[in-house]
Amino acid sequence: MRKKIVAGNWKMNKNLAETGELIAAMKRNFENALEADIIIAPTFTNLYYAFEECKDLKVKVAAQNMHQEEQGAYTGEVSADMLKSIGVETVILGHSERRAHFGETDALLAKKVNTALAHHMTVIFCFGEELKDRKNKEHFSLVKHQLKNGLFHIKDEDWDNVILAYEPVWAIGTGETASPEQAQEMHAFIRKTISEAYSTKISDNVSILYGGSVKPNNAKEIFAKPDVDGGLIGGASLDAKSFVTIANAIS
Ligand code: PGA
């Protein structure tokens, strides 16, 4: 079922005490019944705490990454089973910072997707073009390539556990947002690409989030577009008021 979703990617921010403060401030602000499903993704060390704190709220807790292997000699890594054992059932995969700074390729992401789905986790699959791709008018083909190589091997039924996050790299953390029209144009293209590779039933049902400098002052316009089902929020998710305002911009 296509859902409205607002997810906060906290990245490498907030220690344990700060995580507690941010969740408490969010709780104080979530007074109205929200239209959207809310997800927050704190860092690994604070996931269990966040899960416990958010249990009674309509807020899910997600990991920002995960290793593709089940277990073993992978120093510093975290497995799907470890996440599930603390109640975390959602994982962000393919964020552009993972791709850029940690060499994550489409082929590696395809493996991570398989592992997450095998563990019945929900995957927030991120992808998006760089500025040079858009300047060269290659943004559509690049996005199609990322989807085909990282995701389009999954079975029809797996789509129930996939959320897409289109995040143009040039808009992440830069203050430069894609215009609502640019976001809509790409989201419609993504839906068409999925309907061609799978079916319209699947493309109609998948939630496609936009990410990249979504702020309280631009969220409403972006979320109003018919193929935009919500947002993946970085910087603005670190401030409770901003994040809740963005969540309330979903109608
Ligand atoms: P931003 O980050 O909102 O700070 O641009 C978005 C993201 O990286 O998911």
Q: pLDDT by residue (tens digit) across 129-158?
A: 999 999 999 999 999 999 999 999 999 999
Choice among 53, 97, 104, 167 that is catalytic: 167
Alpha-carbon gap, residue 121 to 103, rounded angstroms: 23
Q: What is the mean pLDDT of residues 90-102?
A: 97
Closest atom of ligand 1 to CA, residue 214: 3
Alpha-carbon gap, residue 140 to 137, rounded angstroms: 8
8 A C-beta contact, residue 214 and residue 250:
no
Q: How many CA atoms lie within 13 A of 219 on its CB side?
A: 27
Least confident span in 172-181, 197-206, 207-216, 217-226: 172-181
167 classed as catalytic? yes
How close is the Cα of 144 to the center of ligand 1, in Å? 21
Question: Looking at the whole model, is its pTM more than 0.95?
Answer: yes
Q: What is the mean pLDDT of residues 230-241?
A: 97
Confidence of residue 28 (pLDDT cuts 50, 70, 90): confident
Alpha-carbon gap, residue 150 to 168, rounded angstroms: 17
124's CB contacts (< 8 A; 6+ apart) are 7, 39, 62, 90, 91, 92, 93, 163, 164, 165, 209, 232
Alpha-carbon gap, residue 74 to 69, rounded angstroms: 9
8 A C-beta contact, residue 194 and residue 238:
no
Return the pLDDT at 175. Answer: 82
pLDDT surpasses 80 at 5: yes
- Using a 6 Å cutoff on CB, does residue 80 contact ligand 1? no
Question: Which of 126, 167, 237, 239 maximizes ligand 1 atoms within 8 Å of its Cβ, making it the mutation to test the pocket?
Answer: 167
Confidence of residue 204 (pLDDT cuts 50, 70, 90): very high
pLDDT surpasses 90 at 34: no
Here the tokens at position 20 are 């507690």
CA-to-CA dists, residue 159 to 36, 153, 194, 203, angstroms:
19, 11, 10, 9
